Structure 1
Amino acid sequence: MSSWRQFVETRLKTAEFRRTMLLSAFYIVLFLLLATLLSSYLNPGEDHLSAYDDDWNDMSQFKADLNDAGVDTLSLVSSPLLLDQLNKSVTEHTVFVIAGVEKDTISLPSFSGGDEVIRLTEDEGYSDAELESIDNFVKRGGSVLVMDDFGFAGGVARIYNMDYSNHRMYDSEYAHELDNNYTWLNVSDGFNYSGRSRADTHPCYNPLRHQDVLLNASSPGVISLKEAGLCQHHLNASDPTAWDWSPKYNMLLDRASAFDPDSAEDADKQRYGIGYSSQDSHLDTNDDGKLTGGWEGGGVEADMAGPFTLMIKVCNSAECANASSGRVMFISDGSALINVIYDHEGANNGRYGALTNVIPENDNRKWVLDFVAESLLAEDDSGYSIHSDAQVIFDESRHQQSSFMADAYNLLYYALVYFTSDWMAMLILFLILFVAFEAVIIKKTDPEPWRHVFSIIYYGFGDARRYGYYGRANKVKQVLLSRVRNVNALTREEFDSLPARELQTMINDPVLVKFVFEDRNYSMEQLVAVVKRVKMWGRGGKQAVA
């Protein structure tokens, strides 16, 4: 037992054990950091709301309509930080689409500049740097469409002093062909901001622009799909001479939420309420899934009664009068543009699989294409043709992907962009590289000091202790054997193949022969005596002085 204890104590004091423990601690901390990162980013779940998948709950048909109208569509799989790379001309003709933010951001410490000097966590959904990039994008003339209900888009809303209620909204005006999960949002005028309609400022509702297109049409009085451009959804399929001038939208929502009544629209701050629920609606504030009535003194927490704001438009100009200024459209439903609702005719014809109920006709397609047209068709553009820089960017960075490898790829791309764009992330990256460099140094074995094979530095016992390299018998043996090989002019191969008896003859010193061939420990005094004999060996022939 004592020998085992002595072995353990000796082992704990060795440099190898300390190096092993340091490396183990480093890799454990690295593993915990990576596990925390992956657990917040890679969450198994249903993948939907992607513009690049064609399932019933994706948005491929919306993307297809944009492409048919000549609009370039791009996907952002890393981070909205890349929006800062767009110049102002491109930004003014770009729409950034956020639909159903399903993943939280990677929170990093940051300097808040407020009461808290350092914030250890960031806003949900997007980091502070990403939210700043989105805000700057809008200030430079870009347009953003935010569709979310219970996801992580609250950070984007809070840029404009708004917030989501994060509670389910129920309404008596729902699609009876389906069930009460599908409610109607009836917008009487999508361009009535402060009591008067501003529809004539919209390119598709401007009569002068429409007249100009008619005069230049290839067929008199008839506007073709190509000539209609981004406003082709206003054409009447049964009557090519008709044009839809109505600014009304009858929209179908799926399990919608609502905006917080205390932080919703505010016309003085250019936050305009566009769509509301009916008077007979309620917000499930206790999240019990049913209507709960009550009164303040009854001790029962009652659900909040409507109407509630479901759609808000934020503009950088009063009443969105400046077409080149930025704008943000919020709607409290992340599923407003899913294929089965957006393309209701195709859904009823079985394009997205068999349906048990008929999807009612709705204006979701008209609403979103009107927003895109308003954003991409500037006042100085002629007709309904789009600008050469016009594009729509879909944020796919916060969507669950269909495979782990796709999620891992997005995470790596996100890290590449994030750690080269955000200053706090760059600082953390520097610290990570510094720690990694230190780990390499810890793992690397120190090189042995240089020695000359013809001499041994020794000037007494004090120097022998100072030059600890020569306080080990095997090092002195190497010096002696190197001398023997060089004095006899042998190559390394020849010397290594020598028989032991012939080597003893070459040394020709019984003390040194015994020193070379015996494996034992030497005290410092004994080693000093051997060193003296080695220094004298070869000076007067191969026989050392006894």
Structure 2
Amino acid sequence: MRGRIRREYGSKLFALFIVIIMVTVVYPVLINNANNPSQLSVYDDDWNDMSLLASDLNVEENGKHEIKTIVSRPSIITKISEVEKNTTQPTLVTNQTILVIIGVERMYNEYDSEALHSFVKSGGKVVIADDSGYANTAFHGQAGALEIDVKLRTNKVQSGCVPEKTTSLTSTVLEGMGYDSGGGSDPKCKPAQLYDFNHWDENIHTGNISTVIIDANIERMDFSGQLMMSSPGALTIKQGGKAEGLAWSSQEAFIDYNQDKVGGAGEGTYRENSTNGVEVISEANIGEGKVIFISDTSIFTNRYYEQLDNKEFINKLFEYLSESEPQTIIFDESRHIQSDLISLVYVQLFGILGHISSSEVLGLIMLGSIILLMQIVMMRVENPSVWRHLFNIYEGRLSRFRVPHAHYIHPETIKEIFIEKVRIDNGFTREEFEMLASSKIEELLEDPILIRFIINNEKNMTLKQVEEAIKGWKK
């Protein structure tokens, strides 16, 4: 009885279990993420997207660069470079590629960090801009082994991000490394917002406290002008490290570590013997490549792209990185949380496949799992029903499944085939035969040995006894 239930309803119950898990666990998580508004996409033209920027860069429109996007994970760039290493016409040349990461809404894992670091070290260029996400995870690696000596200053109130007293080992180590100890040291901690009232009384200011106007003079980019940012963060740069500041806030600004929108003790940006405040744009040189780190995403959006001198700065930035030559610009869309369920599942699926394809161990595990699953399916798929009413006792040695049982002369297999012969020879349909009482089947069998074998299910009978009884049976 138990075996029959498992055989007839096992797959259905398993499917029901999967559906319940999807509905109660997976689906709510996906829906929660899918409810986040889509933003910072080069393909959309809403106010918080970047279609104007893409148009000015794209060779097919107003620019001179080839635009591409990745939706899986940045490690796919390294994988493509490895595959095309010996080709004469590679689709991706590392030192002629700029990876653009605007808004980091999902964390990078250690594998992604290693891929990004390897890409830059080999001559690639990265523009990373973030003010409220997880940009600090992009170049972190295991225990911070891949730091590029610049990071966003983080808040002090997020769970797990409250710093210890300045006498703690953590703060001492951070200060010893040359970093400011304000905010948390965990790369998962989100940035603290920068407030600056520079140009507040002038017409160029919006009058909104979240607006920050930066007076920038970046000689290497041949740029001098004013940048309008919205709710930017602030950077901290390791003293004597690989990174250096390119643009700063005013000294009247403050960094809202405790997120109360009021400047307090330890939040000011005043520096002695300097006219600069805190860094908002920096450059880090890693190996043969470089990283431009910007603590604001808004200057790239359609709403702010043409405000003040934002557009000129961005164009000069890409001219500087590309050395005024046509290059490939790749926008990383994998760090954005998609606004609809289908897109979210699509991006997550490609991310998983990209991660598996980039790891030999995971690839072998995945391949082995697929082969094992196929074997299980083949073992459970039944052969087609026999259309000719043939009977041969030796067919009892065969299983009804495509892959035979280990014991191919199993009594249950012999019993199943013989009882089918009895049904056919007496002209019953399957439904009619299943409704027969045991006493009626005993009348059809007649032979005591067959009754003991079929009806009573006795286990102490030899196969030879059963074979002789079956051979001697007649309707």
Same fold (TM over 0.5): yes
CA shift digits 1:77-121 (9 cap, x unpaired)? 22212322246983222221111112x2xxxxxxxxxxxxxxxxx
Contact preservation (8 Å) 1:174, 1:181: no
For 1:466 and 1:74, how far apart are their aligned partners in 2? 58
**Residue in 2 aligned with 1:162?**
150
**Residue in 2 aligned with 1:138?**
120
Q: CA deviation at 1:254?
A: 0.6
For 1:457 and 1:438, how far apart are their aligned partners in 2? 23
CA shift digits 1:411-454 (9 cap, x unpaired)? 33333333212345435534653674576378557999xx9715
Secondary structure of 2:152's counterpart equals coil
Secondary structure of 1:251's counterpart equals strand
Q: CA deviation at 1:59?
A: 1.5
Secondary structure of 2:357's counterpart equals coil
324, 342, 367: which is aligned to 2:305? 342
224, 232, 237: which is aligned to 1:248? 224
Within the alignment, does 1:92 sit opposite 2:112 as a pair?
no
Q: CA deviation at 1:174?
A: 5.2
Root mean square deviation, CA, Å: 4.7
Instruction: Map 1:128-527 onto structure 2 (within 5 A).
Output: 128-158=110-140, 159-165=147-153, 166-173=191-198, 175=200, 176-188=205-217, 190-191=218-219, 199=220, 247-260=223-236, 264-266=237-239, 268-293=240-265, 303-306=267-270, 307-316=277-286, 325-344=288-307, 362-377=308-323, 386-387=325-326, 390-423=327-360, 425-426=362-363, 429-430=366-367, 432-433=369-370, 436-437=373-374, 440=377, 453=392, 468-469=410-411, 475-478=417-420, 496=427, 514=446, 521-522=455-456, 524=458
The amino acid of 2:455's aligned partner reads N
For 1:162 and 1:36, how far apart are their aligned partners in 2? 38
For 1:435 and 1:456, how far apart are their aligned partners in 2? 28
Cα pair distance change 1:161/1:515, threshold 3 Å? farther
Contact preservation (8 Å) 2:43, 2:51: yes
Contact preservation (8 Å) 1:149, 1:334: yes
Secondary structure of 1:283's counterpart equals strand
| TM-score of the aligned structures, taking structure 1 as reference length | 0.58
Cα pair distance change 1:146/1:534, threshold 3 Å? closer
The amino acid of 2:150's aligned partner reads M
**Residue in 1 aligned with 2:69?**
75
Contact preservation (8 Å) 1:471, 1:527: no
Contact preservation (8 Å) 1:470, 1:476: no
Within the alignment, does 1:63 sit opposite 2:54 as a pair?
yes
For 1:278 and 1:535, how far apart are their aligned partners in 2? 102
Gaps of at least 5 residues in structure 2 are: 141-146, 154-190, 271-276, 398-406, 430-441
Contact preservation (8 Å) 2:283, 2:290: yes
Q: CA deviation at 1:157?
A: 4.3
Gaps of at least 5 residues in structure 1 are: 1-9, 105-124, 192-198, 206-246, 294-301, 318-324, 345-361, 378-383, 459-464, 486-494, 499-509
Counting aligned pairs with the same residue, the percent is 22
For 1:37 and 1:497, how far apart are their aligned partners in 2? 52
**Residue in 1 aligned with 2:185?**
none
Secondary structure of 2:42's counterpart equals coil
Contact preservation (8 Å) 2:73, 2:334: yes
Cα pair distance change 1:170/1:480, threshold 3 Å? closer
Q: CA deviation at 1:369?
A: 1.4
Q: CA deviation at 1:248?
A: 2.0
Q: Which has the larger radius of gyration?
A: 1
33, 36, 51: which is aligned to 2:42? 51
Q: CA deviation at 1:278?
A: 1.5
Q: CA deviation at 1:286?
A: 1.3
The count of aligned residue pairs is 381
